[in-house]
């Protein structure tokens, strides 16, 4: 059978209608439930005809102007050409299939009897076409490339651009989804059975309201005058999934001084469950009027409401797991991955118009990728999302970074501290206008589930509202007990917060803890807290001014120094989607290395507390944060194992987040020779525990030191000169035939710490 089927399929594939014939075969075999008619294919078909036929046919524009009428015409055409199924239905199939096969057999028997007796006409099938169709038929509009921008429907409309002239037309509307109702069954054909004659009566439903049939209209009952009573047969009726969606205008579509408008969208059949709250979508549909009913009709008088009957949904930002990468894209990714510069290229592509902040951009890139979420056998869950806080002076482009991240993330929600209440962030209990029941309305954190929530002006929030975020940042759930509703909502979101210090700008005369002015319970939930100080420096200020003026003049970011690629937000999203498909694990060697690094971090914190330099408390959450960042780095390498270099970079990022605080006085000295820069880099590696050998706090692995220094753009000669210069000053010395770098001052510090104990 399969051998006979294969050549037949190959023959069909060579024909121009193979796409739709294959689709109809899948419908007949119950593998698909939607027939999608692409208007691009119709237009291509029209172009293949001669000019006279095109002028007389004019099919595409007719469909766009009167789409609802053509839905029925195309459905009848599909009914005529759909092939017969190759397998018989069994008891596991849909009940309508069983009833239809039984009734068709009965009709065939009646037909044969009447042919034999030659008495009267042959009865037709009693099933209405709406009942026998096992599919929903929809139109896909012309694509933007195929449709000219002047043509109506050539581009997506804003909600306020939809007018009365569009009634009955196939139009495309762009907006953001604000509310999505539950999916409920909508009756399409009602089936009744008569208690007197046993006939089945079918009633197709086309309007919002209908009057149920009461008396049997069959010939038997009319002849006998029985007036049999009809009973509704739910199993033989046909229902379609129905969902109501509210979309709202985008912020850039609203004119000055106006508020966003809303439009109701009805989704039937296969289009239900495709849209989630917060999605930015282009919905193609038929603009239809609907009269008010019941008490609303008395109130409304002559007014009618309008809605959009959805035909096709196009998501603007697909979720990571639904992205399909083209083979050419994967090939290019593999080539760039082999260069070893992928981490630098991608981090530069985060908001390239903003000058500097390279380490901040690296942290934001790793936040997009995220760590691996772990679920234990007993239900315990360890989050993999990375939380980042940017604390800094005014004018360091914190808000712009947040806006860019909202644009890149597939589900990005942007909110501000003053404009958000506790229930606005978590969930509010409100009365449903349709059912008049108390329902939960998700807030910003629920809308950003499996995405990114950016909170600006974090320090301006009230303390009572800020406590609502505590549970989300660690457990990633929202527990609600209000108005008789007790439930737990998912909020698996990464949080990116931006805040100013206590008095607007960082005050170096008071301690960092007083400057930050955030509770310790909240600070410990951030994996990285960047303190960005705006300190005057002639060289960097000049570079910044040149960068800003270049962007203003040319409306584009300047080319990166030393070459390199800059990826668009869509390309960054593709890289992140591929990276998130990996689940790297931690090996025994990395685990031991991580334990030693954590112990050194705790010792460093003790020294910082003595010098009043600390502003974060090193806790077990810090260890989990370092592990998450290391897993994100391993994902970025498209690897299945975390290596010690990932841990080193993770420790460096945690250390460099405080670097502007420590380097505040150092930057003013003006000594920025290569040797000094290399020394500061190596000393930072010692303080963070990166490249440590594990034998002592002051011992570093020379191979890793060399790799890190060369990766920063220094030459081997500059590194050798720095090693010699500071060796003569008795700052460090090399050991074990040049494979170890030992800080001499480290032992003294350790002895001092022991004396303090």
* Digit-coded pLDDT (tens) for 371-414: 888 888 787 888 888 888 888 888 888 888 888 888 888 778 88
Are 181 and 244 within 8 A, CB to CB?
Answer: yes
With 50 as the cut, is the pLDDT of residue 481 above it?
A: yes
Contacts with 66 (C-beta within 8 Å, 6 or more apart), sequence order: 168, 169
Residue 308 host element (H or E): strand 304-315
Average pLDDT over residues 491-495: 85
Provide the pLDDT for residue 537: 74
Residues 6 or more apart whose Cβ sits within 8 Å of residue 307: 263, 264, 265, 266, 288, 290
Residue 530 has pLDDT above 80, yes or no: yes
Which residues lie below 8 Å from residue 589, measured CB to CB, with a gap of 6+? 644
pLDDT beyond 60 at 420 = yes
Closest alpha carbon to 508 in 595, 624, 652, 612: 612
pTM: 0.70
pLDDT for 533 equals 79
Is residue 741's pLDDT more than 80? yes
Mean pLDDT, all residues of the chain = 77
Beta pairing, strands 262-268 & 304-315: parallel
In the chain, % of residues over pLDDT 70? 82
Written as six digits, the tokens of 258 are: 């106006």
Euclidean distance between CA atoms 369 and 386, whole angstroms: 9
The sign one gets for the Cα dihedral 369, 370, 374, 380 is negative
Please list, in sequence order, all residues whose beta carbon lies within 8 angstroms of the beta carbon of residue 84, skipping any fewer than 6 positions away.
Answer: 28
Distances (CA, A) of 14 to 1, 21, 22, 743: 21, 11, 12, 75
pLDDT at residue 301 tops 80: no
**Mean of the pLDDT values across residues 51-79?**
79
Q: Which residues sit opposite 194 in a β-bridge? A: 230
Which of helix, strand or coil describes residue 246? Answer: strand
Backbone angles phi and psi of 154, in degrees to 5:
-70, -25
Alpha-carbon distance values, 108 to 105, 113, 207, 218 (Å):
5, 9, 33, 19
Helix axes 569-579, 327-339, angle to 10 degrees: 80
Average pLDDT over residues 529-554: 80
More confident residue, 363 or 179: 363
**How far apart, in whole angstroms, are the C-alpha atoms of residue 230 and residue 202?**
11
Mean pLDDT (whole number) for 120-137: 66
Q: What is the pLDDT of residue 10?
A: 45
Q: How many Å apart are CA 71 and CA 81, to the nearest integer? A: 16
Q: How far apart are CA 218 and CA 227, in angstroms?
A: 9
Provide the pLDDT for residue 402: 86
Q: What is the average per-residue pLDDT within 427-435?
A: 71
Q: Residue 753 has what pLDDT? A: 45
Q: How many CB atoms lie within 10 A of CB 536?
A: 8
pLDDT of residue 563: 61
Give Dmax over CA atoms of the chain in angstroms: 120
């Amino acid at each position: 059978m399969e051998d006979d089927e294969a050549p037949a399929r190959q023959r069909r594939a060579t024909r121009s209608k193979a796409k739709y014939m294959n689709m109809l075969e899948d419908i007949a075999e119950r593998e698909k439930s939607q027939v999608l008619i692409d208007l691009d294919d119709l237009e291509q078909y029209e172009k293949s005809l001669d000019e006279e036929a095109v002028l007389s046919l004019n099919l595409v524009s007719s469909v766009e102007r009167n789409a609802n009428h053509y839905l029925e015409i195309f459905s009848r055409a599909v009914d005529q050409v759909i092939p017969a199924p190759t397998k018989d239905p069994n008891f596991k199939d849909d009940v309508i299939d069983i009833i239809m096969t039984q009734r068709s057999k009965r009709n065939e028997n009646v037909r044969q009897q009447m042919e034999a007796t030659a008495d009267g006409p042959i009865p037709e099938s009693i099933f209405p076409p709406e009942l026998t169709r096992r599919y929903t038929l929809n139109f896909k509009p012309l694509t933007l490339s195929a449709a000219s921008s002047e043509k109506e429907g050539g581009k997506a409309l804003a909600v306020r651009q939809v007018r009365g002239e569009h009634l009955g037309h196939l139009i495309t509307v762009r907006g953001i989804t604000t509310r999505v109702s539950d999916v409920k069954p909508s009756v399409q054909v009602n089936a009744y059975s008569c208690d007197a004659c046993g006939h089945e009566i079918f009633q197709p439903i086309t309007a919002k309201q209908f009057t149920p049939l009461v008396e049997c209209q069959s010939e038997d009952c009319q002849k006998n005058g029985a007036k049999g009573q009809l009973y509704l047969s739910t199993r033989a009726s046909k229902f379609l999934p129905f969902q109501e969606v509210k979309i709202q205008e985008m912020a850039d579509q609203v004119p000055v001084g106006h508020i966003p408008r809303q439009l109701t969208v009805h989704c039937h059949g296969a289009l239900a469950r495709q849209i989630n709250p917060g999605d930015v979508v282009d919905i193609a549909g038929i603009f239809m009027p609907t009269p008010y009913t019941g008490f609303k009709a008395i109130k409304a008088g002559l007014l009618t409401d309008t809605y959009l009957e959805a035909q096709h949904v196009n998501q603007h930002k697909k979720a990571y797991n639904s992205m399909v990468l083209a083979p050419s894209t994967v090939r290019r990714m593999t080539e760039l991955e082999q260069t070893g510069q992928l981490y630098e290229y991608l981090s530069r592509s985060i908001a390239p118009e903003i000058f500097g902040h390279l380490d901040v951009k690296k942290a934001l890139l790793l936040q997009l990728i995220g760590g691996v979420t772990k679920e234990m056998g007993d239900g315990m869950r360890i989050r993999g999302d990375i939380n980042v806080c940017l604390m800094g002076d005014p004018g360091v482009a914190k808000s712009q970074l947040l806006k860019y991240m909202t644009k890149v993330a597939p589900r990005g929600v942007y909110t501000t501290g003053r404009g958000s209440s506790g229930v606005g962030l978590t969930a509010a209990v409100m009365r449903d206008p349709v059912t008049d029941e108390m329902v939960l309305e998700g807030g910003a954190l629920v809308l950003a589930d499996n995405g990114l929530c950016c909170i600006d002006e974090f320090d301006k929030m009230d303390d009572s509202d800020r406590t609502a975020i505590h549970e989300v940042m660690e457990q990633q759930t929202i527990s609600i007990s209000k108005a008789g509703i007790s439930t737990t909502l998912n909020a698996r979101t990464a949080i990116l917060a931006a805040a100013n210090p206590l008095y607007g700008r960082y005050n170096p005369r008071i301690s960092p803890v007083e400057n930050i002015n955030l509770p310790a319970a909240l600070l410990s939930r951030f994996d990285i807290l960047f303190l960005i100080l705006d300190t005057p420096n002639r060289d960097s200020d000049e570079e910044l001014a040149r960068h800003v003026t270049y962007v203003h003049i040319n409306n584009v970011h300047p080319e990166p120094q030393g070459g390199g690629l800059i990826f668009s937000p869509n390309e960054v999203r593709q890289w992140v989607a591929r990276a998130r498909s990996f689940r790297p694990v931690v090996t025994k060697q990395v685990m031991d290395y991580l334990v030693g690094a954590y112990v050194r971090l705790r010792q460093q914190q003790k020294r910082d507390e003595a010098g009043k330099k600390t502003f974060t408390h090193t806790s077990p959450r810090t260890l989990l944060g370092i592990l998450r960042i290391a897993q994100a780095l391993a994902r970025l390498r498209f690897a299945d194992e975390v290596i010690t270099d990932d841990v080193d970079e993770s420790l460096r990022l945690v250390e460099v987040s405080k670097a502007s605080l420590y380097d505040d006085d150092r930057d003013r000295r003006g000594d920025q020779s290569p040797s000094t820069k290399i020394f500061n880099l190596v000393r930072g590696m010692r303080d963070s525990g990166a490249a440590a050998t594990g034998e002592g706090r002051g011992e570093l692995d020379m191979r890793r030191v060399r790799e890190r220094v060369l990766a920063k753009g220094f030459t081997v000669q500059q590194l050798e000169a720095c090693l010699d210069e500071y060796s003569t000053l008795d700052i460090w010395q090399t050991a074990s035939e040049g494979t170890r770098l030992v800080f001499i001052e480290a032992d003294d510090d350790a002895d001092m710490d022991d004396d303090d104990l």
